[in-house]
Structure 1
Amino acid sequence: MKNNYLLALLSAFLLWVAWPPIPYTSPILLIAFVPLLMAVEQTMRGSYSRKGRKIFWLSFLTGFVWNTASIYWVYNAMNAFLPPHVSLLISLIPFALAPFLMATAFRLYYQLRKRYSIATSFLGLVSFWVAYEYLHQSWDLAFPWMTLGNGFANFHQLIQWYSVTGVYGGTVWIWLTNIFLFLLIWQKRQDIQAINPKRLMIGTVVAIVLPIGVSLIQYMRFEEHTNPSEVVVVQPNIDPYGKFGYITPEEQLYILIDLSRTVGKSNTEFFIWPETAISASNRINEDEFRAYPAYENVLSFLDGYKNGNVLSGIESYKIYNVQRTHTARAFGNNMFVDSFNAAVLIDDSSKLQFYHKSKLVPGAEQLPFGEALAFMKPLFAHFGGTTGGYGSQEEPSVLYSASGIGAAPVICYESIWGNYVAEYVRKGAQFIAIVTNDGWWGNTSGKDQHLLYAKLRAIENRRWIARSANTGISGFINQRGDIVQRTKWWEPTAISQEINLNEDLTFYTRFGDLFTYLFLLTGVYTVFLLVKPKKKVFVDKKK
């Protein structure tokens, strides 16, 4: 088994090397699982006891090392406040949860191999893996950061067809090439021809070359429709850990306005400010926002811009006379209050538009699974925001300027969800404004990964991205996924860009994760096969 564990570690190393933000290494993902598949196959055919358990731990080892190496910044964020040993202990939760689900997929694959053909078993493996990734973006502990298809974010020229399949198309592609290559190598090593070698070779070449070729053609031929709009993104560089200790909300607002003026033009239509950019000592009452000095200061700033709008993150709340939501808390006199991590659009009219962040960070903005997981609060509190229950809205909404331009106000963590961002676009968003605060993670790869993942949303929907990050990295991404401008980390600045608005809908925008649902249905079918009595392909008396 020692050699098998070394193979599992080799897969983990290849996956890490291929993962963003390391540049130009993404194609390694197409071969990264081959060593693990070799280890699993050798375990199946070896004279071992408890093979299913061994396969589980082999795949868990790969996932654990890969995840830990790629999202180590989770520990970095907590270590600023907690003792090192406590930070390490709590970090094991996100480092190990996804690997546990990955290992479960391999364990089910082994059960299929005992009963059915290798083709059926591999179909089951891919379906189980897609099901794990879909679960990990849907349940209360959602953290789809390590979805396989995200791995090509640093080499977007190769995955322009995400405009049809979304990131799950990348997941399936990675698995398809790895399976083909594994079969080629295994048959060569064992000197067998269960599958015609020539056909297998042709299938392998087609699986690798065809998607890349199609994507490169799409990338080179893609042209944006000219529909210009002048946009500014601001990066104020307010330290999130000392925000309320050394700077007042009023001072923060002045910084935002001054930076905006340095690059604003007479025809600027949108000024994008980062997450929680507008605040007050006790948050801002949305129903009374017009009475706040911050609102008047923003209006005064917009006097110099005929068609100007400010789209900004805001810390807000609403008061109800009945408990309208499960997150509303009683605060006396039979009144209830809901706090929001929100976005607001301000223009020179009396109209105000708010959006309440829907994809809340587990623990930091919502407590997953209620009090049963209260012990996880210290972990999630350092992903950003304040530990506790935030209010939200059920679905995204578009913020419209007075001239009719629709902007998608995507707040921080929400930008990881492809189908959710596509819903903004289905509702009329002509460009995507990401407002975030990546300073919680420090100068780690977390901020770089978050920026690069935004490229995937640009490709899926063929929309420009205007990204305002409090401490960096801010920038603009065009409809092909190219980063046209980007700021430096930890630098107060503002940049402007003429972007092209788009109203056309891609296949992915129209139908979302349709491609994924097909594999989920396949996964249901393979589970049915597992419980259905059937003669075994090979007998394994030692489980």
Structure 2
Amino acid sequence: MKNNYLLALLSAFLLWLGWPPIPYSSLLLFIGFLPLLIALENIIRSETIKKKGKKIFLTAGLMAVVWNTASIYWVYNSISAVMPPFAAIVISLIPFCLGAALMALAFSLYYQLRRKTSLLLSLFGLMGFWISYEFLHASWDLAFPWMTLGNGFANFHQLIQWYDMTGIYGGSMWIWLVNILVFVLYLNRKGIYQLRNRLVPILCLVLILAVPATYSLFRYFSYEEHQNPAQVVVVQPNVNPYIKFRISPEEQLNTLFSLSNSVAKPNTEFFIWPETALSQNGDFDEENLRETYSYQRILQFLDQYKNGNVLSGIESYQLYNYAKTTTAREITPHIYQDNFNAATLIDYSSKLQFYHKSKLVPGVEQMPFGAAMNFLKPLFKAFGGTTGGYGKQAEPSVFYAQSGIGAAPVICYESIWGDYVAKYVKKGAQFIAIITNDGWWGNTSGKDQHLQYAKLRAIENRRWVARSANTGISGFINQRGDIVQRTKWWEPAALNQEINLNEEITIYTKTGDIAAYLGLAIALGGFLIIIIRRQHAHLP
């Protein structure tokens, strides 16, 4: 049994090595699950091991916990900065173990299916179960799709130019298909599983590896952007998030103006400022923003750039005379307030545009499952979140400049949802503006992974990404997923770039996560086999 646990740990190590931000290491993902599959096969075929289902779950769970924790260890950094060490560890166990438990569940279902049908069908069922876990973990109130397998190719984006057709779930399928074929060939070589013709899986393996990679490399080196230029500036003010609210709004604005002016050109059209760049003691009332000191200062700044637009993060609120939303809180009798982690577009006209972040961080920005999780409010409040939760809007919205340019205001965490970002593009966004604050995690791989994942959004939609991060890393990513410019970590900086706007719609932008739905269909077929054959087993 110890050898099986060692094999599980080997899988965790290979998968961790293949994960961003380690450059060009993604190829390890193609064999990352092989040691674990061998360990599970040892358990399944053992004549001495009892309670095999439990052993399968524990062995797969060991791999999942180690890989998951090693890849997102930085979650603890953000929590430990505001909580005692023991409490921070307890809270960290939620993201560390919840995703891992769902991964292990996929392997438990594989074991159940394996008892009812053939090896090959069971392995394809496993692929479906895994993609179903990924889809669930991107959809429910505890969503955290950071570890979706297809994200792993962000550090070798030259191989996945076809994400403009399938998105990241196509990458998850690619990884699983290769792992399955390598595992079958291993079993055949060991004499455990007999193949009628060994050349067939070898040929399939070669084709599954070569065809997508060859097409992608051809697409990468032959891709040409249509010349439709726009001047964009991204600003990295480098305000320490833990002391941000001790710094006066005037001082923060002066930093943003100074950095913006240092690289701007007379024809600059967009100045991108990071998440919550506009803040004050008490959030901004959206109805009265024009009357504030900050707004008037921004208009003065734009005097120099008549075509300029400031796209900035802002902490804002709206007031209602009734409980208009589930997140509105009564602050005085018959007056309700909704707070937002938002973005705004300010130009030289009197027009104001707002977008309210929709993909909220569980616990920190919204209370998962509403009333059922009320008992966790004190813990989440200690994490720096809000006990009532931020308001949000159901659908993304596009900011339009006076010139007609459409920008997608993507706030932080939202940038890891490919289908959500694609909705901006379907609505007319010609480039993607990601505004974020990655300083909570410290100088860890979390900030690098977040930057790498933005490359996937550029490829899926064939849109430039302009990324403004408060404490880094800011930069520009072209339509092929190349990082054209980037800042250093924890340094105030600003970058200017001429980007190419794009209006063409990719297959992925049109269709969304079709690959995920295929995985769900495969999983459903596996469930039906388990249920039907279990019922038949109990028939007289």
TM-score range, shorter chain: over 0.9
Q: Following the alignment from structure 2 to structure 1, what is the Cα–Cα distance between the partners of residues 332 and 63?
A: 52
SS at match of 1:467: strand
Given that 1:115 and 1:535 are in contact with CA atoms closer than 8 Å, whether structure 2 keeps it comes out as no
Given that 1:114 and 1:536 are in contact with CA atoms closer than 8 Å, whether structure 2 keeps it comes out as no
Given that 1:74 and 1:91 are in contact with CA atoms closer than 8 Å, whether structure 2 keeps it comes out as yes
C-alpha displacement of 1:233:
0.2
SS at match of 1:428: coil
1:221 aligns with 2:202: no
Q: Which amino acid aligns with 1:128?
A: F
Spell out, residue by residue over 1:4-31, the C-alpha distance to the aligned partner (whole angstroms, 9 max, x if none): 1111000000001111111111110001
Which residue is 1:485 aligned to? 485
Spell out, residue by residue over 1:383-442, the C-alpha distance to the aligned partner (whole angstroms, 9 max, x if none): 876554101000000000000000000000000000000000000000000000000111
Matches within 5 A, 1:494-509: 494-509=494-509
Q: Which amino acid aligns with 2:353?
A: Q
Given that 1:361 and 1:383 are in contact with CA atoms closer than 8 Å, whether structure 2 keeps it comes out as no
Given that 1:384 and 1:440 are in contact with CA atoms closer than 8 Å, whether structure 2 keeps it comes out as no
Which residue is 1:167 aligned to? 168
C-alpha displacement of 1:220:
0.6
Which residue is 2:297 aligned to? 297
The structure-2 alpha-carbon separation of the partners of 1:118 and 1:378, relative to structure 1 and needing over 3 Å to count, comes to: farther
SS at match of 1:414: helix
The number of residue pairs the alignment matches comes to: 536
The structure-2 alpha-carbon separation of the partners of 1:233 and 1:78, relative to structure 1 and needing over 3 Å to count, comes to: same
TM-score for both structures, normalised by structure 2: 0.97
C-alpha displacement of 1:380:
5.6
C-alpha displacement of 1:134:
0.3
1:73 aligns with 2:74: yes
C-alpha displacement of 1:335:
1.1
C-alpha displacement of 1:528:
1.2
Which residue is 2:284 aligned to? 284
TM-score for both structures, normalised by structure 1: 0.96
Q: Which amino acid aligns with 2:281?
A: S
In structure 1, list runs of 5 or more residues that go unmatched: 538-543
C-alpha displacement of 1:467:
0.2
Q: Following the alignment from structure 2 to structure 1, what is the Cα–Cα distance between the partners of residues 81 and 61?
A: 29
Which residue is 1:242 aligned to? 243
SS at match of 2:269: strand
Q: Following the alignment from structure 2 to structure 1, what is the Cα–Cα distance between the partners of residues 456 and 435?
A: 16
Q: Following the alignment from structure 2 to structure 1, what is the Cα–Cα distance between the partners of residues 214 and 174?
A: 14
SS at match of 1:97: helix
Spell out, residue by residue over 1:30-85, the C-alpha distance to the aligned partner (whole angstroms, 9 max, x if none): 01000001011111000111111101111111110001100000111112222222
C-alpha displacement of 1:241:
0.5
SS at match of 1:354: strand
Which residue is 2:207 aligned to? 206
C-alpha displacement of 1:124:
1.1
C-alpha displacement of 1:379:
6.7
Q: Following the alignment from structure 2 to structure 1, what is the Cα–Cα distance between the partners of residues 449 and 380?
A: 18
Given that 1:116 and 1:536 are in contact with CA atoms closer than 8 Å, whether structure 2 keeps it comes out as no
Spell out, residue by residue over 1:259-312, the C-alpha distance to the aligned partner (whole angstroms, 9 max, x if none): 101011101000000000012211100001110011110011001012100000
C-alpha displacement of 1:211:
1.4
Matches within 5 A, 1:42-441: 42-47=42-47, 48-190=49-191, 192-245=193-246, 247-374=247-374, 376=376, 386=386, 388-441=388-441
Given that 1:267 and 1:305 are in contact with CA atoms closer than 8 Å, whether structure 2 keeps it comes out as yes
C-alpha displacement of 1:190:
2.0
Which residue is 1:33 aligned to? 33
Q: Following the alignment from structure 2 to structure 1, what is the Cα–Cα distance between the partners of residues 234 and 513?
A: 30
Q: Following the alignment from structure 2 to structure 1, what is the Cα–Cα distance between the partners of residues 381 and 191?
A: 52
Given that 1:266 and 1:304 are in contact with CA atoms closer than 8 Å, whether structure 2 keeps it comes out as yes
User: RMSD in angstroms over aligned alpha carbons?
Assistant: 1.6
C-alpha displacement of 1:377:
5.0
Given that 1:269 and 1:308 are in contact with CA atoms closer than 8 Å, whether structure 2 keeps it comes out as yes
SS at match of 1:358: coil
The structure-2 alpha-carbon separation of the partners of 1:481 and 1:536, relative to structure 1 and needing over 3 Å to count, comes to: farther
Q: Following the alignment from structure 2 to structure 1, what is the Cα–Cα distance between the partners of residues 387 and 437?
A: 16
Which residue is 2:464 aligned to? 464
Q: Following the alignment from structure 1 to structure 2, what is the Cα–Cα distance between the partners of residues 371 and 147?
A: 29
Given that 1:115 and 1:536 are in contact with CA atoms closer than 8 Å, whether structure 2 keeps it comes out as no
Q: Following the alignment from structure 1 to structure 2, what is the Cα–Cα distance between the partners of residues 58 and 467?
A: 40
Which residue is 1:447 aligned to? 447
Q: Following the alignment from structure 2 to structure 1, what is the Cα–Cα distance between the partners of residues 130 and 2?
A: 26
Q: Following the alignment from structure 1 to structure 2, what is the Cα–Cα distance between the partners of residues 310 and 101?
A: 42
Given that 1:383 and 1:440 are in contact with CA atoms closer than 8 Å, whether structure 2 keeps it comes out as no
Given that 2:329 and 2:388 are in contact with CA atoms closer than 8 Å, whether structure 1 keeps it comes out as no
Q: Following the alignment from structure 1 to structure 2, what is the Cα–Cα distance between the partners of residues 196 and 387?
A: 61
Q: Percent identity?
A: 63
Q: Following the alignment from structure 2 to structure 1, what is the Cα–Cα distance between the partners of residues 379 and 459?
A: 32
Q: Following the alignment from structure 2 to structure 1, what is the Cα–Cα distance between the partners of residues 404 and 191?
A: 65
C-alpha displacement of 1:2:
1.1
